[in-house]
Structure 1
Amino acid sequence: MQQLSWLPTHPDLSGAIGQAKRIEDPLQRLHEAVKLAAHQRDFTLTARLDKLAAAGIEQHAAAARLTPLRVALLSSHTVDHLLPAIRVAGLQRRLALSLHVAPYGMYRQALLADDPALNAFAPQLVVLALDAHDAPLQLPLQASQAEVDAAVAERVDELRLLWRRARERYAAQVVQQTLVPVAPPLFGSYEALVPASPRAVIERLNAAIRAAAREDGVLLLDLAWQAAAYGDGLAEPVRWHQAKQLVSPTLAPLYGEHLARIAAATAGLSRKCLVLDLDNTLWGGVIGDDGIDGIQLGQGSPS
């Protein structure tokens, strides 16, 4: 799968990173890292770019006109291998991201108890990166629709409590990751017709999370909707049992891209595109009919 296919390719990104490493001035190295981050890159090149920027980003972020943002990742799956990709995707958007990762699986304790490390970090953005393994509703397959709805509502209420704590303690914007289905369908095409089937429960839970997030002003990292586009590498059983990785290293740049888009938007750095009708608007004539030599350009009215 081609990573970040919408970005331009670089003729020799690996060589360019190597040349940039030889620059003595940390600020200049940081400038080079920002420029190179705007190209297609895989997991390895992303990690090298992260190291290239690391030496100067703390001292020279302001001089490089990067916007600082503190992001806390509270997760129920391993995210450490995703950090370089998140930082580099932030660089691409002129963000200097500081990342804090709570101890594995301790997201509840981090928000509900007194976490000195998280308090000292004072996050501006709190990401709840949860997975379907962490949200078993302990329902028998014969559970009724009403029982499923009650279990889903209880789980969403717990999430809403965590969202409130994050806002109350840190005045932080909250980002909730939706749950990627991991269990294989038990009933084939009838999976959705069995209320308590694993996939039906996750779908209903994600729908409830989206609705609650909209009501509570919580942003979504909708990984469940992105799952089809991610392809192989997301929720792989082997990766999960080896290292509790929901997202494989191969897909780290893509994950970092999606999270950095949200982070940039919260920092007021979202990009906008102005699309105009060019013919008889920016120039006189229809370029498809009149050709380049037949259009008219001028001050004021193009015609």
Structure 2
Amino acid sequence: MISIDIRPTPTHTGAGTPTRPRHGLRIRSRKVLRIPSIGTIIRFLAVLVLAAVVFLPVYVSFVSAFTPNGEMARSGIVPNPAHVTLRNFHEATTAIPLLREYLVSVGVVTLQTVGQLLTGALAAYALVFPRWRGRRLAFGLVLVTLAIPGESIVIPNYELVSSIGLRDTVLGVVIPYLAAGYPIFLLRQAFAAVPFEIWEAARLDGAGDLRALFTIIMPTCRPQVTNAIIWSALAAWNGFFWPLLITDTAAARTIQVGISQLAASEAGSPSVIFAGAVLVVVPTMLLVIFAQRFLINGLSRGVLR
């Protein structure tokens, strides 16, 4: 709250004697305590309830991973610090080749993310800047692929990968997903927001299509490009059904398949399973936390043109 106080303000001469007073404005601010409305309180409580529903399973998983089997049930939701142990992680990594499967997942994520970024950027560039007939039809076909369930193309993919001799290999896991519809859609919308004059100026300056794409267009759409990278990386890391179907040995098996086998192993006690689940969840949590700003910017910029 701001109050205006009008009082005569005396002026002084150089000798220190006051002269005729002049009216001046003195602005004083007062802090007023505002009581939140009932609607605000209800929304705040609803957010707290939703946050508890989301974070309670994560909290239970982390606590159970660091406590002996059954200790969580005896001590309640707050564990005894004296019982904290890393034995569950040791048993999880020795019961099955979890570390090897971890590295395989990292390789799958890297190859699949790079492949989807390259194919998505090239397809989006072709759908926006070169003027050719059928661009809208081609973009419509890309949107149609988003409505096709992944399970409906598993059998054709399995027959194709098996026929070229890549079954039970890392490449066999990656090849069917080197291109995806969502990165193409996201990057196409982002590129469409770039002024066409920028591309024309680059072409007149002698830049080829690849140079214009990788040195001008993609740096301009950095938030959306980062969003596409994050989406592809999370999709590759969380893949389960296809790696389970196409692999037979641990040499090409991903971490998601390894966790399911950990539950069926002899050492698959609840605490050991929770420890393996924590090893799977931590990379995705760190990726989302550190890239949250890019996710928000990528979803809010350049997608409505």
- Bin the TM-score by the shorter chain: under 0.3
TM-score normalized by the length of structure 1:
0.26
- Taking structure 2 as the reference length, the TM-score comes to 0.26
Structure holding more strand per residue: 1
Q: Which has the higher helix share?
A: 2
Question: Comparing both chains, which one has the higher relative contact order based on Cα–Cα distances under 8 Å and sequence gaps of 6 or more?
Answer: 2
